[in-house]
Amino acid sequence: MTIPTILLPLLALANALAYLRLSRSPKRHHALVARTLQAVQALFTTVLATLLFSNIVPSAVRTCLLSTIWQRMFRSHDADAIRRIQDEFNCCGFNTVYDRAWPFPDHKSAGRCAETYGRTVACVQPWTSTLQRNAGLEFGIVVAVGLFQ
């Protein structure tokens, strides 16, 4: 969602400039093109705002999706991805510090991350909070562009 949010203000500026130019044209089809571009931008802005808003509100679906993503990384032993998340949020595991944490458990110990790094927080909450905050910022940008339009 970040890339469309970055592109939206640029496209809105281009659309506004095109609208000014096309709406002044004496040719009738230019005015129709200008209105059509405005309508397409309004539709795109509305869809993007709706999708972003759905990520702001707490949801069991999002938690399930994040758990699925984490499980996929854990199953494929994607140590780099899991380690980046754990290091970024100073956490271990997903639901608990022992739940699918990196370093991957062996037959001797399941809590190597918590023991090695002294972390006591699971990653689900800080990861979810960051995603919600980012969605909120992006939602604000989209709403501002929509109001500008």
Q: For residue range 31-80, what is the model confidence (pLDDT) as tens digits?
A: 788 888 889 999 999 999 999 998 898 888 889 999 999 999 999 999 99
Judged against a pLDDT cut of 80, whether residue 108 lies above it is answered with no
80 with 109, same domain? Answer: yes
Cα end-to-end distance, the chain, whole Å: 20
Per-residue pLDDT tens for 123-141?
A: 999 999 999 999 999 999 9
Verify that 70 and 124 share a domain, yes or no: yes
| Residues 17, 48 share a domain | yes
pLDDT of residue 73: 96
Q: How many domains does the chain have?
A: 2
36 and 93 assigned to the same domain? no
**What residues contact residue 103 under an 8 Å CB cut-off, 6+ apart?**
79, 112, 113, 116
Q: Is there a single domain that holds both residue 10 and residue 46?
A: yes
Q: In this structure, are 65 and 125 located in the same domain?
A: yes
Distance CA 114, CA 74 (A): 16
* pLDDT confidence band for 107 (50 / 70 / 90): low
Query: At 130, which amino acid appears?
Result: T
Considering the entire predicted model, what is its pTM? 0.77
